[in-house]
């Protein structure tokens, strides 16, 4: 597909526009990001040389509050990708009714090639470059693909040094000892788990008779696979960027996680030592995993995994998008015509930003919550908004994705209208 990711992302919005009465002003504003920043980050490498990295931060829309979204370190990061992710964050925050707009950031690099010290210099350099673009009431970054609490801690520290004032609320997903929230690291998976648990009975399914394949064994995918298998679901396949494994009887997720932690990579390590002997398994490619005949398919890796090219191979009955944008808009239409239900990213993976919001609230109030309190509030929000979107989908007879966009759009347009629209001014 020659289309940009952003053009494809905007198509979802167009589809939802039919079902909402949105002012022309709002439609026009949502077509463009509020501000996009491209920066060069000079980093002194361990061997003494200087390398310049390209970084981005896009603030898509701040009608509902300061902009919010992660920072991604990946070789494929581009302005188009960051802009699309910022667009999705705008809707994700509106769907969860968080007082935030949407943003995203990224640096184009393979973080595995840098030493820890180089990564620290790069992360601090990124904050030096975007410091005037961010702030607890302006724009609040967080972790995303290949960034973690330690990196968030460096960024928060750097921002505080620049401002000469400790500013924990400028970034979320920090280590707990310096203002991070309990439960934030696993919040994306925990939130997705609550969504799945809430919707499963509606599809007349029970966990023990539900087979699952998870693509992506990072922070979200691995944790969700474990939560599901603990709850009785049969997780038959998992994969990472190197490939995956399949076992009809179900996989022992905690041991795969331990092996991956110790040896990196699922495919290689799974066959070393005792785990191989526990269950018979097959080695799979990522493509094969996506085509498995399972009840639930969970893409939890990157964008554009299910496209026009492989959509007809998909046999799963239900897809829960834990990654952002794993299905293209063209593939979406084909899945719909084949009766395969897709539960969209802007709902399913919103647990991460929801607990980020809780972290920001805790930083600003100075009162820190127990894990039980975080999870109870997260569950309440995820279930409430899932149910509301389910009802819209039923009422309008539209897919869950369109329903989620309708829901988010209504909140966004209400906020835009509250600040004055063309109709308001013409009528006065």
Residue numbers of the site for ligand GLU (CB under 6 A)?
68-70, 142, 144, 172, 324, 349, 352-353, 356
Q: By Cβ distance, which residue is nearest to ligand GLU? A: 70
Q: How far is the CB of 144 from ligand GLU (least distance, A)?
A: 4
Q: Bridge-partner residues for 183, per DSSP?
A: none
Which one, 173 or 399, has the nearer CB to ligand GLU? 173
Backbone angles phi, psi at 135, to 5 degrees: 150, 155
Give dist(CA 370, CA 423) in Å, integer: 47
Q: How far is the CB of 352 from ligand GLU (least distance, A)?
A: 4
Say if residues 69 and 104 touch (Cβ distance below 8 Å). yes
Q: How far is the CB of 349 from ligand GLU (least distance, A)?
A: 6
Say if residues 111 and 119 touch (Cβ distance below 8 Å). yes
Listed residue (284, 143, 150) closest to 220, CA to CA: 143
Which one, 286 or 356, has the nearer CB to ligand GLU? 356
Which one, 94 or 269, has the nearer CB to ligand GLU? 94
Which one, 188 or 229, has the nearer CB to ligand GLU? 188
Burial category of 325 from C-beta neighbours within 10 Å (exposed 0-12, middle 13-18, buried 19 and up): buried
Which one, 143 or 243, has the nearer CB to ligand GLU? 143
Helices 219-230 + 253-263 axis angle, to 10: 150
Rounded to the nearest 5 percent, the helix, strand and coil shares of the chain are 50, 20, 30
Q: How far is the CB of 172 from ligand GLU (least distance, A)?
A: 5
Query: What amino acid positions are annotated as catalytic residues?
Result: 104
Q: How far is the CB of 324 from ligand GLU (least distance, A)?
A: 5
Count other Cβ atoms within 10 Å, centred on residue 384: 13
Which one, 389 or 398, has the nearer CB to ligand GLU? 389
Count other Cβ atoms within 10 Å, centred on residue 208: 9
Residue 291 carries which DSSP code?
A: T
Count other Cβ atoms within 10 Å, centred on residue 396: 14
Q: How far is the CB of 385 from ligand GLU (least distance, A)?
A: 14
Q: Bridge-partner residues for 106, per DSSP?
A: 56, 72
Give dist(CA 206, CA 197) in Å, integer: 9
Listed residue (134, 117, 193, 201) closest to 169, CA to CA: 134
């Amino acid at each position: 597909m020659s289309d940009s990711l952003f053009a494809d992302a905007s198509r979802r919005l167009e589809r939802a526009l039919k079902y909402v009465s949105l002012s022309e002003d709002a439609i026009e504003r949502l077509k463009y990001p509020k501000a996009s920043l491209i920066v060069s980050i000079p980093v002194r490498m361990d061997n003494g040389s200087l390398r310049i990295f390209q970084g981005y931060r896009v603030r898509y829309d701040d009608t509902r509050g300061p902009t919010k979204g992660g920072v991604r370190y990946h070789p494929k990061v581009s302005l188009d990708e960051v802009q699309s992710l910022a667009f999705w964050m705008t809707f994700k925050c509106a769907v969860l009714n968080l007082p935030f707009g949407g943003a995203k950031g990224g640096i184009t690099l393979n973080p595995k090639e840098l030493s820890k010290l180089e990564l620290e210099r790069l992360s601090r350099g990124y904050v030096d470059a975007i410091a005037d673009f961010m702030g607890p009431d302006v724009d609040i970054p967080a972790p995303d693909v290949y960034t973690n609490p330690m990196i968030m801690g460096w960024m928060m520290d750097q921002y505080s040094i620049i401002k000469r004032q400790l500013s924990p609320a400028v970034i979320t997903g920090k280590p707990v000892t310096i203002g991070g929230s309990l439960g934030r690291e696993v919040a994306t998976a925990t939130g997705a788990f609550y969504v799945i648990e809430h919707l499963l009975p509606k599809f007349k399914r029970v966990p023990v008779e539900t087979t699952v394949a998870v693509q992506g064994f990072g922070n979200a995918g691995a944790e969700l696979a474990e939560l599901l298998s603990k709850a009785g679901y049969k997780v038959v396949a998992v994969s990472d960027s190197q490939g995956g494994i399949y076992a009809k009887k179900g996989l022992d997720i905690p041991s795969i996680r331990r092996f991956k932690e110790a040896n990196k990579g699922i495919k290689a390590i799974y066959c070393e030592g005792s785990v191989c002997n526990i269950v018979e398994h097959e080695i799979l490619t990522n493509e094969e995993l996506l085509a498995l005949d399972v009840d639930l398919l969970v893409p939890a890796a990157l964008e554009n995994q299910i496209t026009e090219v492989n959509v007809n191979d998909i046999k799963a009955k239900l897809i829960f998008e834990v990654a952002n944008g794993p299905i293209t808009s063209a593939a979406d239409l084909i899945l719909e015509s084949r009766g395969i239900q897709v539960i969209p990213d802007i709902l399913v993976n919103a647990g991460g930003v929801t607990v980020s919001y809780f972290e920001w609230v805790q930083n600003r109030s100075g009162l820190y919550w127990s894990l039980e309190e975080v999870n109870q509030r997260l569950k309440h929000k995820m279930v409430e908004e899932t149910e509301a979107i389910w009802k819209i989908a039923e009422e309008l007879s539209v897919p869950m994705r369109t329903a989620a966009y309708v829901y988010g759009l209504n909140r966004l347009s209400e906020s835009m209208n509250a600040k004055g629209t063309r109709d308001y001014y013409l009528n006065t």
